[in-house]
Structure 1
Amino acid sequence: MLEKTFLRKQFPLRRLATSLLLTMLLSLTFSVGAASAHAQVTLVGPKQHYLAVGDSLAFGFQPDLDFSHGYADYLYSNLKGHGTTSLANFACPGETSTTMIKGGCPYSYLRKYPYVGDQLDAALLYLYLNPGKVSPVTLDIGANDIKGSLNTSTCATDVASFNAELAQLDANLTQVILPKIRAALTVNGVVTGDIVLMNYYDPYQNICPNSVPYTQLVNQHLAQDVAGYGLIADVFSRFGGTTTPNPNICTYTWMCSVFKDIHSKDAGYQVIAQTFEDTLGY
């Protein structure tokens, strides 16, 4: 996930203003695309099985080693009331969109659901073995893709690296991950399950406020990438959005604890689950 994620850079005032203006323009463009995509997606509704894929947030990582109260667990509790009887959580802490496709997740020994090989192929096999019986499929991926751009000591971002990593994330999502998941959900020409991709909160926004435009840009790309395949769950807004300082960072994550950890607490995972629930409208 987000481990050591999200990008920031000490800009001179003029460059920061330019960055913020660009973000505003991109926000308008992407919001129109996202709204259009939302209108194009017809929800199927909950089915017998719920599949969660992604990184350490989907896994439900917490530094106190409580791995049983992630957003997938809370969402599954809600889905039980709609007839869902099982949760298959394939998420792997540290997963990037590339390792999701090619394998090599650094913390594969922590996986809750046993499988061999890369996460995407394992998820696709699960879908093909349960045709028409899986919905929703929730996904969060991308924060680990861009973490190499960040210097956590100086709050500086390597912009060229960030742009390259973001472009690779877009390609992995739109050319491989999302089309393959939708294809596996399609039975006899009919899409039988819902796909929901979440965006990210910015755990560093109180430490380096200039990280926020980068986080917003990542989230705008995620919304655009999922267009036509599914819905976007706006976790960023539910965690307080651009408000800085953001008191929710201390309330919902471990950033203000002795762990100084970017992952969500129980309260944060509950908020994420609620965001998925509200987005799905089940």
Structure 2
Amino acid sequence: MIPAAFDYVAPTTVEQAVRALAEGGEDAKAMAGGQSLIPVLRMRLAAPTLVVDLSRVAGLGGVRDEGDSLLIGALTTHHELQRDPLVNGHARLLRLAADTVADPQVRHRGTLGGSLAHADPAGDLPAPVLALDAVLVCTGPGGTREVPAAEFFVDHFTTALAPDELLTHVRVPKTTGWGARYEKFNRVAQAWSIVGVAAAVEVVDGVVRRARVALTNMGPTPVRARGVEEELVGRSAGAGTIAAAAERAAEGADPPVDGDADAGYRSHLARVLTRRAVTAAVGAAVEG
């Protein structure tokens, strides 16, 4: 299909982009890599009057070491997350999730910021960002504010971003030396997750010191599996502990019912995938 007609601007600074969004009002849409927006436009599921192309905006790409955290530009592509040594060394969970996104073409064009701002509950990057306690840096006419990931995702395809705000950076606390794993179940290769599990654990002397677990497509937003974390922390990193923790994976979740799965099946997948993800993460942490 052909999209409905819209105006198009390609600013080169954050200030210009924010101003364009403000002038366009609620009928304006920001576009990063376009891998989510363009199909929606073609199917006429959205009909903005203005598209603000962010691809030429300076300063929104790359990864910077800021001591205890990494500052990742919103226009950093999935492919760049896969290849960046800082991400691989200090936020490996993000790299592992990026590995599973669609296909090489999408990974070369799609961006971290675009994925998070799109807020698809089946998207693969929101859950790892939530699990890592990331903070999202948003810029609007009134300046810059930082929003914890736990407050950024509001509902299906809805975030805390105001219509005239941009997601410019993602601040990710380092998890250096932790083991990590992203487990994803889908019916065909390169498809959206029916359920996904993002897990990162720190193991010291055979005991789980810290654990971060979040679920993909188990609700209208990514879900933090607090029960799993509580069951793991302070206990031996053995199979029995992991199995008991995984049984709590679906606590507090609100799994959707659609043509792929019902709520019961998704809850079962969450438990199975959590056990796999935590087992693999613990193994990676122990191996160093």
Task: Give the alignment's TM-score, normalised by structure 1.
Answer: 0.30
* Greater percentage in helix: 1
TM-score (norm 2): 0.29
Structure number with greater CO (CA < 8 Å, separation at least 6) is 1
More strand by share: 2
